[in-house]
Amino acid sequence: MNINDLFDDLEKLKKEVWYLIKKVIPKIEETIENSALGDISNIKNQLSQCLEEIDGIKTDISTLTNSTNNVTLKVSELESSFSNLSNTLNSLSSTISSLSEMTDNHSQQLDSINSEVSSLKSSYENISPQIDLLNSIVNKHSENILSLTTTVGQAKSLATEAKSATENFSTNLTMVSNSVANNTSKINELESSCSSINNSISSINSSISALSDSLSSLETDVNNLKTENCTVIYDMSSEDSSINLGFTTGMTGTKYISHDFSQYHTIRIYARLYASNCVQEIPVKNRKVAQSAMIVTGSNPIIISSLNILFTIEPLLNRLQVGAYGKYTFSSATGTFTLESGSSNTNFYVYRVEGIKK
């Protein structure tokens, strides 16, 4: 109901009541006075109509009065609501101003809110959408704050991991520095060892060259000896017990032969020294000492093998014995030789002895 229409209707009713009081009723009273004892039925009808109209007017006035009271109450409630709304708007304005001071990044959003608040002050109907917009913005900020909190937590975790990694890196760097220093010292030692190894290799190459020359000479001698008068004194492969002398797997250290060697000019000894064969001739006479040594290198010249031979000197010339063995292994890592020796080894043995008469 429009309040302006309500007041207009009330004003019309007042005018009708005034008209009844000022015009109709006095006229009726005048009619009654002039009629004397005449027929008053017409007057009664008029009075009845007036009373009915008055009753209707009273009813309308009562209805209008109730409506007016209701409207007044609603107006009061609206005024109170507008007052509360004004206070809320003022509080929102203060809050928005504080938010504007707290962050410059959302100044455009706050300007939009202030514009909406101004619109709310002028139009009550627009307050609800603007409040929804404000709630949406606040929710968005809450989400941003939650996201920022999560990001800060992750950043702290990454910072902790970075600190731990830095400490580990520092420790590892110290270890690497120490290792570099140690390796530098070892490299210097290795350079010195390599120099020594090179010198040893040069010496070994010289020995190999000399041995090669000796082998060539021996081959020449062997070719010359093919025509010599040669007697087999011992051969482990022979089936004749007088030739294998019971040593069918070779004569190792401490084994010996008793024989009259004085009839020979030279004896020729065939032996296995570790992984190589060796052939050596020993003069029977005109020797100063009984001990002789057989020495050989393998296909890989880092191993030098030796086998001692004990051959009695004059005037006896009756015994040939296999003595101790030796194995010298060269280490390229340290530049040193390692010796393995003993009185007997199955890889060091004599397998044939020949006597040569000229």
pLDDT in tens, the chain (358 residues): 566 677 787 788 778 878 877 887 777 777 777 765 455 667 667 767 777 777 777 787 677 667 667 766 775 777 787 688 778 778 877 775 775 676 566 567 657 757 765 775 776 566 567 667 756 765 775 676 577 678 757 767 776 876 776 677 668 767 857 875 776 777 677 677 657 756 765 665 676 567 567 656 656 665 655 556 899 999 999 999 999 999 999 999 999 999 999 999 999 999 999 999 999 999 999 999 999 999 999 877 789 999 999 999 999 999 999 999 999 999 888 889 899 999 999 999 999 999 999 7
Residue 126 DSSP class: G
Structure tokens given for 14: 């007042």
The helix (H) or strand (E) run that includes residue 173 is: helix 127-225
Q: What is the DSSP string of 312-329?
A: --TTT--EEEEEEEEEEE
Closest CA to 308 of 262, 245, 256: 256
**Cβ count within 10 A of residue 165:** 10
Terminal C-alpha separation, the chain: 161
What is the phi/psi pair of residue 343, to 5°? -85, -25
For residue 22, the one-letter residue type is K
Q: What is the rounded CA–CA span in Å between residue 197 and residue 216?
A: 28
Are 326 and 347 within 8 A, CB to CB?
A: no
Within 8 A by CB and 6+ apart from 336, the residues are 330
Give the pLDDT confidence score for residue 187 in this predicted structure.
60
Closest CA to 254 of 143, 332, 345: 345
Give the pLDDT confidence score for residue 93 in this predicted structure.
73
Q: What is the rounded CA–CA span in Å between residue 48 and residue 43?
A: 8
Give the pLDDT confidence score for residue 289 in this predicted structure.
94
Residue 129 Cα distances to 78, 142, 197, angstroms = 19, 20, 95
Are 234 and 245 within 8 A, CB to CB?
A: yes
Q: What is the rounded CA–CA span in Å between residue 71 and residue 81?
A: 15
CA dihedral 153, 156, 160, 166 (to 10 degrees): 140
Q: What is the rounded CA–CA span in Å between residue 176 and residue 250?
A: 58
**Cβ count within 10 A of residue 25:** 15
Give the pLDDT confidence score for residue 219 in this predicted structure.
67
Give the pLDDT confidence score for residue 106 in this predicted structure.
56
For residue 336, the one-letter residue type is T
